[in-house]
Amino acid sequence: MDRPLSELEKRLVDGFQHDFPLHPRPFAIIAERLGTDERTVIEALEGLREAGVLGRIGAVVEPHRAGYSTLAAMQVPAPLLPQIANFVSGYPEVTHNYEREHRLNLWFVIAGPSRARVAAVVADIEYRTGLAVLDLPLEEAFHLDLGFRVQWN
Amino acid sequence: MELTAADRALLAALADGLPLVARPYAEIGRRCGLDEQQVLARLRRMIAAGVIRRFGLVVHHRALGYRANAMVVFDVPEARLPEAARRLAALPYVTLCYRRPRRPPLWPYNLFCMIHDKERARVLALVAEAAEAAGIADLPRAVLFSRRCFKQRGARYGSPVTERAA
């Protein structure tokens, strides 16, 4: 994203990462709180989405309550990394996929409706790539997710 | 609380987020066979029960200029882990703090957290500060900065089993 955010956009990012209004017209409620109108709020959110700032307005679900997920890591030879990374991203169960600075250079999250489904994806990736997948499921969460506090300066 | 099939269908319908229309909950309801009031009631119940930990904007920090994103990991003995994790999680710049299994010899670390900032040097300073604050500066650790992001989106919990396109 290359453009600076407007004051309205900053207030949306700061104010509505949690406790989003559970009301039939949530954008009208937000507009009322921010002293603008519903149409302007919706357009600002569309702008944030186009800028890549807004992923979605949604539910962050407690791990392993509505499904199962794991963090997986692979050691991929550098020349193969783009190809393997794109292959891994192609699984609908893979939600996040990053190259990281480590011998284990590809890190991704696999989330699915069941533990068995996630295990099947891990096994399938190992089978199709011929590379080992380190499976690092969450054992305990210590953080209460309140969103991301942005420093605007 | 136990999730019902309707709760799961609702979470699946929400996987890509609320549509940016005037009555988004009504639209989500249409996609999973619920009316607007049922959608709102089920969301309230799942939030109250803690199944939904957070409901709101999910922002991509990279797009906001936070280009230095590190997964910071520590190898913490079992006896010290709960206290160290509690202190780490309380730091304002630590997002997410999880215990995961070690996989020796390749992976000796069992405590994971994320630190994001605009500058790499700033992240490294925060890592040192966090390790001190959590009382684990003496223990082995690693900082894994992200290079490329290949994919980032919400989970499709509750979605039907889908076969990957060839």
pLDDT 10s digits, B27-53 = 999 999 999 999 999 999 999 998 998
Range of the domain at B87: 61-145
Contact B150 A136 (CB under 8 A): no
Supply the DSSP symbol for A59: E
Mark whether B88 and B131 lie in a shared domain: yes
Structural domain boundaries of chain A? 7-50, 68-136
Mark whether B136 and B93 lie in a shared domain: yes
Q: Is residue B12 part of a domain?
A: yes
Dist CA A64 CA A69 (whole Å): 7
**A119 interaction partners in chain B (CB closer than 8 Å):** none
**Residues forming beta bridges with residue A70, ordered by sequence position:** A110
B147 vs A99, A111, A141: nearest CB: A99
Q: Is residue B118 part of a domain?
A: yes
A62 vs B50, B152, B161: nearest CB: B50
The residue ranges of chain A whose pLDDT is under 50 are none
Q: How many CB atoms lie within 10 A of CB B9?
A: 17
Give the confidence band of B164 by pLDDT, cuts at 50, 70, 90: very low
- By the 8 A CB rule, do A73 and A107 touch? yes
Q: Could you say which residues from 34 to 73 on chain B have a Cβ atom under 8 Å away from some Cβ of chain A? A: 36, 40, 43-44, 46-47, 50-65, 71
The pLDDT value given to residue B165:
32
Give the three-state DSSP class for B142. Answer: strand
For A92, nearest residue in chain B (alpha carbons): B164
**Residues forming beta bridges with residue B142, ordered by sequence position:** B73
**Residues forming beta bridges with residue A98, ordered by sequence position:** A107, B149
Token pair belonging to B60: 């991509």
The pLDDT value given to residue A144:
66
Q: Rounded to a whole number, what is the distance in Å from the CA of B2 to chain A's nearest CA?
A: 9
pTM of the model: 0.81
Mark whether B43 and B65 lie in a shared domain: no
Dist CA A94 CA A125 (whole Å): 11
Dist CA B59 CA A41 (whole Å): 16
Contact A57 B17 (CB under 8 A): yes
Token pair belonging to A48: 């944030």
pLDDT of B156 higher than 80: no
pLDDT of B159 higher than 60: no
Contact B157 A61 (CB under 8 A): yes
Q: CB-based burial of residue B34 (10 Å sphere; 0-12 exposed, 13-18 middle, 19+ buried)?
A: buried
Lowest-confidence range among A117-131, B58-72, B96-110, B127-141? Answer: B58-72
Q: Is residue B76 part of a domain?
A: yes
Dist CA A100 CA A66 (whole Å): 28
Segment B10-15 shows an average pLDDT of 93
Dist CA A56 CA A49 (whole Å): 8
- By the 8 A CB rule, do B112 and B72 touch? yes
Contact A85 B59 (CB under 8 A): no
| Greater model confidence, B71 or B53 | B71
Segment B84-103 shows an average pLDDT of 93
Token pair belonging to A142: 């210590």
Contact A137 B100 (CB under 8 A): yes
Number of structural domains found in chain B: 2
Architecture of domain A68-136: 2-Layer Sandwich (3.30)
Dist CA B46 CA B161 (whole Å): 23
Mark whether B15 and B89 lie in a shared domain: no
The pairing of beta strand B94-99 with beta strand B111-117? antiparallel
Residue A137 has phi, psi (to 5 degrees) of: -65, 150
